[in-house]
Amino acid sequence: MLEFLRNNTGNLIVIAVVALIVFLAIRAMVKDKKSGKSSCGCNCSGCALKDKCENGR
């Protein structure tokens, strides 16, 4: 087991960093959804899909 860790330390670090970035991105999306923020971040009145969007007014 220690030999595996020694041989793959770089890969494990990269995997951990990527997993952390994905986790933080998903957490931010969930937080924004709960607070009612628009997913596209633009002005709904000027959006071409405003009639199809749940936030469209």
Q: Does residue 15 lie in a domain region? A: yes
Q: Does residue 56 lie in a domain region? A: no
Q: Does residue 25 lie in a domain region? A: yes
- Check whether 56 has a pLDDT greater than 60: no
CA–CA gap between residue 34 and residue 8 (Å, rounded):
39
Q: Which letter, b or e, does each residue of 35-54 get, where b requires 16 or more Cβ atoms within 10 Å of its Cβ?
A: eeeeeeeeeeeeeeeeeeee
Q: Does residue 52 lie in a domain region? A: no
Q: Does residue 51 lie in a domain region? A: no
* Domain with 9 in it: 2-46
Q: How many domains does the chain have?
A: 1
Q: Does residue 34 lie in a domain region? A: yes
Distances (CA, A) of 57 to 3, 33, 38: 60, 17, 12
pLDDT category at 57 given cuts 50, 70, 90 is: very low
pLDDT for 28: 92
When the pLDDT of each residue in the chain is averaged and rounded to a whole number, the result is 83
